[in-house]
A and B are shown apart, each in its own frame.
Chain A
Amino acid sequence: MFNLAEMKDTIKIEPSGFRKKKAQAITDEINRKYANKVLQDVGLCIAMHDILYASEGFIHHGDGCSYVTVHFRLVIFRPFVGEIITGKIRSCNQEGVRVTLGFFDDIFIPYHYLQENSEFNADEQVWVWMYDENEMFMDLEETIRFRVESEQFFDTSPSVRPKKEGVDTPDLSANSAKQAPYSLTCSIHGDGLGLLSWWGA
């Protein structure tokens, strides 16, 4: 579920940070810059793991900040394809089921990856697994075990997004896609997958 990524970056330490220990000041700045952010093709950054190397601080003309080149490792959330994870059901709709881990919400189980003979109950807005004669409801907030099938990265930086034809509005939010930068497509098709209660746990 979690792994390490090795990175190199120039970190800016403001003068107020000079009173801290150097390692702590660097750690704080790296966490400020990376924690809870998605890096393209890397994953969701959680926190700094360790510093491998840090240069001396450089101070530029007209700027009181110290710039340090740092070699460090980050803890990254990026489950491998095929990994089994448990989460909670956040919402259900016709398309499938959304799952959350608390710190990561962009997990989707499309309807064709649900258990065989699953039906959407429109009255209660939940999916139901018809197992033999039994109706197994997938209620919200229930703990669910699922397998990662694929991952998608989507570059949300404004510069590379293609301009929509004929749309020229100064309202930037209208242009911005609602797509998540990093999302997982998962399945619960198979023995042992789905709500924990189905499998007697």
Chain B
Amino acid sequence: MEILQTNSAMLSNYEVMSLLADQKAQRIANEVAGTREVAENLRTVEFEVQKYLAASPCSTQSGDQIRELKKAFKDYELMKVELLQILNLRPKSAVELLLVIEEFEERFALDDCEKMLSIIAKALPRDDDEEMVEGGEEEVAENA
């Protein structure tokens, strides 16, 4: 065994989730009777990772949505890891967003926060926070 390069690329949770699903499908399609069973360790980790990811925001994401998000964030000079964290955690509130973006106050204006949150909510829609988003919009409208 030889380790050529660790950390050669970073993967988003969505990529891992789709990879595991693809591999499982391929394995079933290529199954040949009489060969060794699927390794126990793979089944364990596959099941547990899929369970974790299914409960995370990436469960409803798609490739198109992620491309859309990347395009929308083009104007902001975000680091790759920051974009990755936004994708994985899908921040819904200012406090969550500030957590994943370093030195927000110095790099961005305060109203950028609102804009980024609305970009995220628009690019990565989820059913479970529809109420919250609507509530937020109403508030903004009232203030205006």
- Would you call B143 an interface residue if the criterion is a C-beta within 8 Å of the partner chain's C-beta atoms? no
- Would you call B63 an interface residue if the criterion is a C-beta within 8 Å of the partner chain's C-beta atoms? no
Complex contacts, A28 vs chain B, CB 8 Å? 27, 36, 38-39
Interface size bracket, A side: 35 or more
Interface size bracket, B side: 35 or more
Describe B's contact surface by its main secondary structure: helix
- Of the stretches A74-82, A116-124, A130-138, the one at the interface is A74-82
Describe A's contact surface by its main secondary structure: mixed
**Would A39 and B35 count as touching, CB distance under 8 A?**
no
Q: How distant is the Cα of A71 from the Cα of B88 in the complex, in angstroms?
A: 29
**Would B45 and A16 count as touching, CB distance under 8 A?**
no
Complex contacts, A24 vs chain B, CB 8 Å? 26-27, 30
Per a CB cutoff under 8 Å, which of B3, B44, B99 touches A39? B3
**Would B7 and A3 count as touching, CB distance under 8 A?**
yes
Which residues in chain B, 73-114, are within 8 Å of chain A measured between CB atoms? 81, 85, 88-89, 92-93, 95-96, 98-100
Q: Which residues of B contact A (CB under 8 A)?
A: 1-13, 15-16, 19-20, 23, 26-27, 30, 32, 34-36, 38-39, 41-42, 44-46, 48-49, 51-52, 56, 81, 85, 88-89, 92-93, 95-96, 98-100
Per a CB cutoff under 8 Å, which of A14, A71, A73, A201 touches B93? A201
Output the least CB separation between B16 and chain A (Å): 5
Among A42, A77, A84, A193, which residue has the most Cβ atoms of chain B within 10 A?
Answer: A84
